[in-house]
Amino acid sequence: MNSSRPLRALLLSLACSTALAAQAQNATRIEIPAGDLAAALDAYARQSGAQLVYRADQLQGARSPGLSSAAATPQALDALL
């Protein structure tokens, strides 16, 4: 039995999924108005497909400057915060 075959298949599938994720990320335009931070994070998650985990009670009263970005990137999320 060739033990490197499953590893090669795993690495190939990881490379393909990473390339597809990068391509999808670049095609996503994010538009979120300024306002409540929890609502802005929810909008970011919907528009980008990202999964965000946070406690809404810790964001109570927090505001976001909004976001207009050509892509869903870590820098775009930082700007939203």
Nearest-CA neighbor of 66 among 43, 19, 32, 38? 32
Task: Tell me if residue 27 falls in helix, strand or coil.
Answer: coil
CATH topology of domain 4-80: Phage tail protein beta-alpha-beta fold (3.55.50)
Q: What's the whole-number mean pLDDT along residues 61-81? A: 91
Predicted confidence at residue 14, as pLDDT, reads: 55
Predicted confidence at residue 36, as pLDDT, reads: 95
- Per-residue pLDDT of 2-56, as tens digits, reads 555 665 655 555 555 554 555 555 567 899 999 999 999 999 999 988 899 988 8
pLDDT above 60: residue 65: yes
Nearest-CA neighbor of 80 among 11, 23, 30? 30
Nearest-CA neighbor of 26 among 18, 34, 37? 18
- What is the amino acid identity at position 28? T
Predicted confidence at residue 28, as pLDDT, reads: 77
For residue 37, what are the contacts with CB-CB under 8 A and spacing of at least 6?
A: 59, 62, 63, 64, 81
pTM above 0.75, yes or no: no
